[in-house]
Homo-oligomer: A and B are copies of this chain.
Amino acid sequence: MSAEEIRAFIEAEFPGAVRFGAQIDAVASDRVIIRLPIRGGFLRPGETVSGPTLMTLADTAVYYLVLATVGPVALAFTTHLSIDFLRTGAPDAVLAEACALKRGKRLYVGRVEMWGGRDQPWHAASERGPRELLAHATVTYSIPPR
């Protein structure tokens, strides 16, 4: 699925993901980049992006990667997620880059790097300023039989 197809699918099927607000910046053959503009509700005391925000972002990024590379499988579901929180910070946006480690018939394993930085589309890379790695996750999805 292309970025546009994923957007349409999410709007039709996942109202919760629409409310979450992650934007799709790039979709390639084995990689997806999404960007979450940070709102007040995503922060925790100490003015840092909250753990649940980053976990939701990681899970969302790999789901979009599954859609991009496997197709519109609404009932794919997460079986495991492991996340390391590396740095605290309150950036304008968090950019999540997900890539496929394994694309099996039954299990799909993705890796996600989450970077804090400016809130501007990823393809404006040369102007995007400094960024730092906030968290790193691996996420396994179970793919339903066709």
**Is the CB–CB distance between B75 and A85 below 8 Å?**
no
Binding site for B on A (CB under 8 A): 13-14, 16, 19, 41, 43-46, 48, 50-52, 55-56, 59, 74-75, 77-88, 101-102, 106-107, 109, 111, 133, 136, 138, 140, 142
Closest to A44 in B: B16
Which residue of B has the minimal Cβ distance to A48?
Answer: B77
A80→B78 contact, CB < 8 A:
no
Chain B residues in 8 Å Cβ range of A101: 84, 86, 133, 136
- The chain B residue with its CB closest to the CB of A138 is B84
Contact A142 B84 (CB under 8 A): no
11 contacts between A and B (CB under 8 A): A48-B77, A52-B52, A55-B81, A56-B56, A80-B85, A81-B81, A81-B83, A84-B102, A84-B138, A86-B109, A102-B133
Residues from chain B with a CB closer than 8 A to the CB of A13 are: 45
Q: A44-B14, A52-B56 are in contact. Are A80 and B80 (CB under 8 A)?
A: yes
